[in-house]
Chain A
Amino acid sequence: MINNSKSDRMLLLFNKVLLSVIVLIVVFPLLYVLLASFLEPSVLIKKGLSLSLSDWTIEGYKRILSDGTIVRGFVNSILYSGGFTIVTVIVCILAGYTLSTDGLVGRKTIMFFFLITMFFNGGLIPTYLVIRDLGMLNTIWSIILPNAINVWFIILARTYFKGIPNELKEAARIDGASEFKIFLQVVFPLSKPIVFVLALYAFIGQWNSYFDAMIYLEDRDLYPLQLVLRSILIQNEVQPGMIGDQQAMAELQRISEMIKYSSIVLASLPLLIMYPFFQKYFEKGVMVGSLK
């Protein structure tokens, strides 16, 4: 690297300072939530980071866990996201594989058939009516099936499979393997990275969404985590099981804030802790997509 001029070095220094400020802006709200879930929010505002142990409490967490609504939301979310991930990945990988085959008759037509749905759809109500008429309302299928086809995933998978050398498939063909066998025994073992990337995207996307569940699920016992959170954080509905013993307004307000902060931590921590380990796969997904 060639030495920079003085003004350039000033600029680089300024760049570092500004980036540090940005990092702080990103981190601070997260840190604040974490602290506020253990310290009473009013204490945090009045005294700042109190070091006296008596101010620290795990009351919010205790109340959440004693109620069980959030725990049930967790279990539901794992079921929905897991099921959704399995279906999406299988269906999109298979479609991507077929579309990656050289000389596939009708490739353009099929691609067009999928691409149209990226730019045009029937809309909220007609989709709802289809799902209602199929009797899928209030079932796990309304979450898993309607969005299982992700055109973007199909394109990613196709791009990936195109990169697998044709010679491998040819060799298996000469040995007399059927097309299905070729996919299962030659191509699939090589496609772990793309399966992993798609699975991560599918799982997290489903885990963090609430819209489909809000429309298609009525039964509260079926609510995924995000819907439970919505009722606590946005609609201010603290579950009766969490506050049963409280009467006074001020006390209620205090506890409901504690519950909000703790439920944010409980709901977000798993992903935030896990994501650094998977970071490179997420980045890979973005890259493969950008190549088209």
Chain B
Amino acid sequence: MEELVKVNQEIPRQKKATSKIKKQFEFIKKNYILYLLIAPAIILTIIFKYVPMYGATIAFKDFSAMKGVWGSEWVGLKHFNDFLTSPNFIEILMNTIKLSSFELLIGFPIPIILALMLNQLRKANIKKNVQLVLYAPNFISVVVVSGMVFLFLSPTGPINAILSMVLDKPVSFMSDPDAFRSIYIWSGVWQGAGWASIIYVAALANVDPQLHDAATIDGASLLQRIWHIDLPTLKPVMAILFILAAGGIMSIGFEKAYLLQTSMNIPSSEIIATYVYKRGLQAGDYSFATAVGLFNSVVNIILLVFVNQVVKKLNEGDGLL
């Protein structure tokens, strides 16, 4: 009796499954155009993203141009070992971590503060013009910003001209390893903080002004209102942006670090990305450089997952992943 019931139940279930597949098949048949439309994106992604992922296996091989990716010999973890035991491993790793965590520490809160400040401007057209100015540096290329840094900080540049009033010798900022990180981070703030504040400004625009009025009547001061009304509004946006930024700690941009690097400031400006470029493309050490890059990616993913968990805890369960 029991078995009969079971069988009876299973028949419709199977029918359902086949009819679902049939339905899906019919959908694809009817809408095959949709799949054609997305095909170019898929093909390009396979060629330029997935094939290189397979190519990353050369990190475990001794790549030779003659034998290609497939034919090169496996050497296991040799290249990882070489990197982890090389004398400059610690220095490069620490440079990467320091540069990006300091950048996060300084670069993350400033746009938020800026947005809170902009939000206090009552006249709409003044606010708009101030924003217009603050966003402008975002549209200058990183090459030009780095060029400006070199010009301004050169021994004959304007900064040294001002400093010469108190110092008797020009400071050569760009060859000072101790100055590199500050230069990198603060020129980044100059260029990007205004633009990064947009998203916070937008979130603040959604705050109901009546909330502020009610709080003012209850005797709340401006700072109290910012703390209890504005900041909580920004919390979700902050959480997502923080995860994204912290997850990217190890993938700090190559472009500007490489531009601002001089032979003198290398002790603090050599980060993983610049190292990979030099060892790989300049010295032709393909397998070793790929291993270093892979090491970087793995650390990055671990970091992303970790930060996501922490933010989830702090943010009552709302993370990115």
Digit string of B48-79 for contact with A (CB within 8 Å is 1, else 0)? Answer: 11111111101000000000010000000000
Q: How far is the CA of A26 from the CA of B216 in the complex (A)?
A: 34
B residues sitting closer than 8 Å to A (CB atoms) are 24, 27-28, 31, 33-35, 37-38, 40-42, 44-45, 47-56, 58, 69, 114, 117-118, 120-122, 130, 132-137, 139-144, 146-148, 150-152, 156-158, 161, 190, 194, 198-199, 202-203, 209, 213, 216-217, 221-223, 237, 247, 254-255, 259, 276-277, 280-281, 286, 289-290, 293-294, 296-297, 300-301, 304
CB–CB B132/A276 < 8 A: yes
Expressed in whole angstroms, the minimum distance between the Cβ of B233 and any Cβ of chain A is: 13
CB–CB A233/B294 < 8 A: no
Report the 9 A-B pairs with minimum CB-CB distance, sorted nearest first: A122-B52, A233-B147, A126-B55, A123-B293, A208-B141, A95-B41, A126-B52, A98-B38, A179-B33
Expressed in whole angstroms, the minimum distance between the Cβ of B301 and any Cβ of chain A is: 6
Q: Does A52 contact B (CB under 8 A)?
A: no
User: Which residues between 247 and 266 of chain A lie within 8 Å of chain B, taking CB atoms?
Assistant: 253, 257, 260-261, 264
CB–CB A124/B148 < 8 A: no
Expressed in whole angstroms, the minimum distance between the Cβ of A44 and any Cβ of chain B is: 8
CB–CB B48/A8 < 8 A: no
Q: Would you call the interface of chain B mostly helix, strand, loop, or mixed? A: helix
Q: How far is the CA of A149 from the CA of B304 in the complex (A)?
A: 22
Expressed in whole angstroms, the minimum distance between the Cβ of A232 and any Cβ of chain B is: 8
Known: A23-B134, A125-B280. A8 touches B221 (CB 8 A): yes
Give the contacting residue for B223; candidates A11, A32, A103; CB below 8 A: A11
CB–CB A211/B255 < 8 A: yes
Q: How far is the CA of A90 from the CA of B237 in the complex (A)?
A: 30
Expressed in whole angstroms, the minimum distance between the Cβ of B140 and any Cβ of chain A is: 5
Expressed in whole angstroms, the minimum distance between the Cβ of A22 and any Cβ of chain B is: 7
* Chain B residue nearest to A101 in the complex (CB): B34
Known: A19-B118, A275-B136. A29 touches B190 (CB 8 A): yes
Give the contacting residue for B53; candidates A18, A124, A126, A154; CB below 8 A: A126
A41, A97, A204, most chain B CB atoms within 10 A: A41
Q: How far is the CA of A75 from the CA of B281 in the complex (A)?
A: 27
CB–CB B52/A123 < 8 A: yes
Digit string of A159-176 for contact with B (CB within 8 Å is 1, else 0)? Answer: 000000000000000000
Expressed in whole angstroms, the minimum distance between the Cβ of A97 and any Cβ of chain B is: 6
Residues of B within 8 A of A272 (CB): 136, 139-140
Give the contacting residue for B144; candidates A5, A90, A268; CB below 8 A: A268
Q: Does A1 contact B (CB under 8 A)?
A: yes
CB–CB A123/B290 < 8 A: yes
* Stretch of A54-62, A64-72, A110-118, A237-245 lying at the B interface: A110-118
| Cβ contacts A to B, 6 pairs, < 8 Å | A29-B190, A45-B158, A208-B142, A261-B151, A271-B140, A287-B202
Known: A4-B222, A26-B190, A179-B34. A105 touches B24 (CB 8 A): yes
* Chain A residue nearest to B236 in the complex (CB): A290
Expressed in whole angstroms, the minimum distance between the Cβ of A103 and any Cβ of chain B is: 6
* Chain B residue nearest to A261 in the complex (CB): B151
CB–CB B147/A234 < 8 A: yes
CB–CB A226/B136 < 8 A: no
Give the contacting residue for A130; candidates B52, B132, B213; CB below 8 A: B52
Q: How far is the CA of A105 from the CA of B151 in the complex (A)?
A: 56
